Amino acid sequence: MESRRRTVLKAVLWNILGLTVMAGVGLIMTGSAAVGGAMAVINTAIGFAMYLIYERIWARVNWGRHG
C-alpha cells in the first residue's frame, strides 16, 4: 500500500504539470492570461481533490496486486 505522503506528493506534481498545460490552453483559447489562468486554477483544484480521492480508493483495492 502506498503512503498518504507519497499519494499527496504525486498529486501535487501531477497537478503542477496540469496547471501549466491548462493555463497555456486557456490562454490560447481565450486570448487572456487572466481568464486562462483562472480556468487552470479551478480545473487544477477540482482535479487535485479528485485524484487524491481516486488514489486512496485504489490503495484499498487488492485486485491485481501480486506479492
pLDDT(27) > 90: yes
Q: pLDDT band at 31, cuts 50/70/90? A: very high
Which of residues 33 and 52 earns the better pLDDT score? Answer: 33
In this structure, what C-alpha cell is assigned to residue 21? Answer: 498545460
Give the pLDDT confidence of 39-59 residue by residue, as tens digits: 999 988 998 899 889 989 988
**Helical residues (DSSP H) of the chain, grouped into ranges:** 4-30, 33-59
Give me the long-range contacts of 9-17 (CB less than 8 A, separation at least 24).
10/55, 11/48, 11/51, 11/52, 11/55, 12/48, 14/51, 15/44, 15/47, 15/48, 15/51
Give the pLDDT confidence of 4-23 residue by residue, as tens digits: 899 889 888 988 998 899 99
Q: Count the residues in the chain.
A: 67
Given this model, what pLDDT does residue 51 score? 85
Given this model, what pLDDT does residue 67 score? 67
